[in-house]
Structure 1
Amino acid sequence: MIRVGIVGASGLAGGDLIRLVHQHPGLRLTFLGGESSAGRRPAELHPGLRVDLGLTVERADADRIAERCDVVLLATPAPVSARLAGELADRVACVIDLSGAFRIRGQELHERWYPKAERSAGLADRFVYGVPELVGDALKDAPLISVPGCYATAITLGLAPLVLGLGLHLRTVLVDGKSGSSGGGLQLRTADLHPLRNGAIAPYAPTGHRHAAEVGDFLERSKPGTVGSLTMSAYGVSHVRGLLASCYVFTDEELDLRELQRAYLRFYRPHPFVRVRRSDETLIPMPDPQATLGSNYCDVTVLHDPDGGRVVVLAALDNLIKGAAGQAVQALNMRFGLPEETGLTMQPVMPV
C-alpha cells in the first residue's frame, strides 16, 4: 500500500482528496495536515465523511510527514505549497501540489500572477505539469507534480487536439469561463454571500485570469502547434460545483466539422476520462457541467462556425474532481504505475 498524506485537509479539495484516497484500493491515508483545523477529525470538517479514519488533523511538520508518507498531496494556498514543497522535496517519493505555486514555469510570469508564492527557480523547473492525458510518460517516477488549475485543465484539454494533435497555429483564442462558488474555496468574501451570489452571473475576472497564463505557458513549451494569443474572461455563477470553458478559436487553417470531430475522437481514444461529445447527443445540449459532477470526466465538444470564421471548443468538468482532487489521484496512479482509472471509476451524479 502507498502511504499518503494530505495537507490542507479542511478545504473543499482536501475533503474530496480524503474521500478519494480512503476509497482507493492501493492507497492508505497516514497523515492529515492543517493549521487552523489541527486537532479536529475529518468528519467534523466534512459532514459527508461519516467514517472513522483513525486520524486527526496535525500541524504540517516536514519531519513527521516524511517519516509517515510516501506521497504528499498539498491542497494548500500557493505560498504554503511553495514552502512545504521545498521542505519535502527529496524526502518523500513524490509531492503532488494542487495550488498554483509551480504551474507556471517562467519566473517572471509566475511572479505576476502569484506574487506571494516565493519559490526557487531550480525547484520549479523540476515539477511536471500534471495533466495526465497530455504529459503521459513524464509522470512515471516523477518526484514533483503540479496539478493544473480547474479552468486550465478544461482549456488545455479542449485545445490540445488542435495544437498537439493537428499541429495548428491558433492565431487568437478567446476563453469565456463560468464556474460555481466552490472554485473560490472556503474564504469568506462579501461577494460570495448567498444573497449576492444566488442567481448571479458575476464577472469577477473579465479582463484576465491566471489560468489562461498557465495554459499559454504550457502550450508554448508543447509543440508542434502554437498559440498566438490566449485571453480569458471568467464569471461566477450561482451553482456550487462545475465549470464550463467556452474557447473561441481563430485560425487561418481551412477546417470542417467532420475533420475536427475525427481529430478529437482520435486524440482522446486512449484516454478514458475525456469524453468527446456531440452537442445534440442527449436530452440537454452538451457539454453541460452538471453531467460531470462527482466524476473525474471532462466532456469536450468541438464545433465549426464557418460564418464567424472560428472553431468553438466547449469543455466541462467538476472543478473539485477532474479540476483538482480527482486529477491529483489520477496523476498519483500514473506516477506509481497503477492503472490511471484506479479509484476513479465513479459515474456522474445527475440531477444535482
Structure 2
Amino acid sequence: MIRAGIVGASGLAGGDLIRLIVQHPELELTFLGGSSNLGRRPAELHPGLRMDLGLTVEAVTEAVADKTDVLFLATPAPVSADLARLLADKGPTIIDLSGAFRIRTTELHDRWYPKVNRSTELADRFVYGVPELIGDQLPQATLISLPGCYATSITLALAPLTLELGLDLKTVVIDGKSGSSGGGLSMRKTDLHPLRNGAIAPYSPTGHRHAGEVRDFFERAKPGTIGSLSMSAYGVSHVRGLMTSSYVFTDQEVNQRDLHRAYTRFYKGKQFVRVRRHNETLIPVPDPQAVLGSNYCDVTVLYDEEAKRIVALAALDNLVKGAAGQAIQAANLRFELPEESGLTMQPVMPA
C-alpha cells in the first residue's frame, strides 16, 4: 500500500481527499495534518465521514516524511510554500493543491500571489498541469503542482485548439461561474446565506489569478499561441460545481465539424474528459450538475458562424476534478497505478 497524508485535513478539499483515499484500493491514509484543529478526528470535522480511521489532526513537522509516501497539501498558498521548503528533499512525493507553484514566471506569480514567497529554484522543480496534458511527466515527478479549479476547466476547454489544431488564438474572453465551495471555509460577509443564495455575484469581473496560470501554461506549451486572454468570474448560489465559457477569436479558418472531431480525437482515451454535443441530453450540456461528485470534466465546442467565434464550454465539480479527485488522479499516474483507481464514481444527479 502507498502511504498517503493530507495537510489541510479540515478544509473542504481535505475532506474530499479523505473520502477518496479511504476508498482507494492502493492508498492507505496514515497522516492528517493541520494547525487549527489539532487533536480532532475526521468525523468531527466532516459530518459525512462517520468513520474511525485511528487518526487525529497533528502538527506538521519533518517527521511526516517517515509516515508517508505521498503528501497532499490542501493548504493556503503561503502555507504550501513553507511546507514545500521544509519537505521537498525529505522523501515523500508532494502534490500541492494551492497556487504556490502554479505560475512559473516570477513576475506573473508576484502579481497574483504577492504574499507567497518561494524560490525560483524550488518553483522550477514542480511539474504543473492537468494530468490529461502532462501525464507523461508525472511518473518521474516528486513535486507536483495542480491547476486551480477554473484553470483546469479553461485549460481542458482550450487545449485542443492550441495543442491539437495549432491555432493562433487572437483573443480569448472567459466567463467563469463557481459555487460557494470554491471559496473554502473562510467566513466572509458576502458568503452569508442571505447574500449568497440566489446571487450571481461578479466577485472578480476584471481578472482572475487562474487566468494567469492558464496563460503561463500555454506560453510554454506549443504549437498554438494565445494573444489576449481575459477573464471575469462570478459566484453563484450552487455549493459545488463550476462552468467556464471561453469565447475565442482566431483569424484561421475553422468549422463546427472539424472542431468537434479535433476535440474527440484529442481526448480519445482520456476517460475523465467527456466531449459532448450540447444538445445530446435532456438538458443542454455541459452543466455542472451533470458531473457533481465525479472526476469528470464535460467539454463542448461550438462555432458561432455569424460572429466568427469559437465557444468552448467546460463544466466540472470544483472539489473533485478541480481539486481532490485531480490530486488522486495525479498520484495514480505518479505511482504508475491505473489512472482511474479510486475514481470510478459516477456523477450524482439531481444533487
TM-score category by the smaller chain?
over 0.9
Take 2:170 and 2:126, find their aligned partners in 1: how far apart are those partners?
29
- Asked if structure 2 preserves the Cα contact closer than 8 Å seen for 1:172 and 1:228, the reply is yes
* Counterpart code for 2:38: A
* Counterpart code for 2:212: A
The aligned counterpart of 2:312 is 313
* Counterpart code for 2:220: R
- Asked if structure 2 preserves the Cα contact closer than 8 Å seen for 1:90 and 1:143, the reply is no
* Counterpart code for 1:18: I
Take 2:17 and 2:300, find their aligned partners in 1: how far apart are those partners?
28
1:255 paired with 2:283, answer: no
The aligned counterpart of 1:6 is 6
> Structure 1 residue 208: deviation in Å?
0.1
Name the SS for the 2:57 alignment partner: coil
Take 2:219 and 2:80, find their aligned partners in 1: how far apart are those partners?
25
Take 2:323 and 2:206, find their aligned partners in 1: how far apart are those partners?
24
The aligned counterpart of 2:56 is 56
Query: Within 5 A, what are the aligned runs for 1:61-210?
Result: 61=61, 63-210=62-209
The aligned counterpart of 2:214 is 215
- Asked if structure 1 preserves the Cα contact closer than 8 Å seen for 2:175 and 2:245, the reply is yes
- Asked if structure 2 preserves the Cα contact closer than 8 Å seen for 1:72 and 1:92, the reply is no
- Percent identical among aligned pairs is 74
Take 2:328 and 2:96, find their aligned partners in 1: how far apart are those partners?
11
Name the SS for the 1:231 alignment partner: strand
Segments of 5+ residues of structure 1 without an aligned counterpart are none
* Counterpart code for 1:308: A
The aligned counterpart of 1:40 is 40
Name the SS for the 1:338 alignment partner: coil
> Structure 1 residue 93: deviation in Å?
3.3
* Counterpart code for 1:274: V
- Asked if structure 2 preserves the Cα contact closer than 8 Å seen for 1:296 and 1:322, the reply is yes
Name the SS for the 1:125 alignment partner: helix
1:8-56 CA-to-partner distances (Å, cap 9, x unmatched) read 0000000000111111000011100010011000000000001111100
> Structure 1 residue 67: deviation in Å?
1.2
RMSD: 0.6
- Asked if structure 2 preserves the Cα contact closer than 8 Å seen for 1:130 and 1:139, the reply is no
Name the SS for the 2:52 alignment partner: coil
* Counterpart code for 2:312: V
1:62-108 CA-to-partner distances (Å, cap 9, x unmatched) read x2211111110000000000000111112123100000000000111
> Structure 1 residue 136: deviation in Å?
2.2
Per mean C-alpha deviation after superposition, the further-off stretch among 290-299 and 125-134 is 125-134
> Structure 1 residue 306: deviation in Å?
1.1
* Counterpart code for 1:237: V
Take 1:94 and 1:226, find their aligned partners in 2: how far apart are those partners?
32
1:108-155 CA-to-partner distances (Å, cap 9, x unmatched) read 110110111100110000100131100121111201000100000000
The aligned counterpart of 1:282 is 281
1:216-262 CA-to-partner distances (Å, cap 9, x unmatched) read 00000000100001100000000100000000000001111000000
Take 1:34 and 1:4, find their aligned partners in 2: how far apart are those partners?
15
* Counterpart code for 1:138: Q
The aligned counterpart of 2:335 is 336
Take 2:331 and 2:99, find their aligned partners in 1: how far apart are those partners?
18
Take 2:129 and 2:246, find their aligned partners in 1: how far apart are those partners?
21
* Counterpart code for 1:331: A
Take 1:349 and 1:93, find their aligned partners in 2: how far apart are those partners?
34
TM-score by length of 1: 0.99
The aligned counterpart of 1:242 is 241
Structure 1 residue runs of 4 or more that deviate by more than 6 Å after TM superposition: none
Take 1:110 and 1:255, find their aligned partners in 2: how far apart are those partners?
34
Segments of 5+ residues of structure 2 without an aligned counterpart are none
> Structure 1 residue 329: deviation in Å?
0.4
Take 1:136 and 1:34, find their aligned partners in 2: how far apart are those partners?
29
- Asked if structure 1 preserves the Cα contact closer than 8 Å seen for 2:65 and 2:92, the reply is no
* Counterpart code for 1:143: T
Take 2:211 and 2:91, find their aligned partners in 1: how far apart are those partners?
31
Name the SS for the 2:19 alignment partner: helix
- Asked if structure 2 preserves the Cα contact closer than 8 Å seen for 1:13 and 1:75, the reply is yes
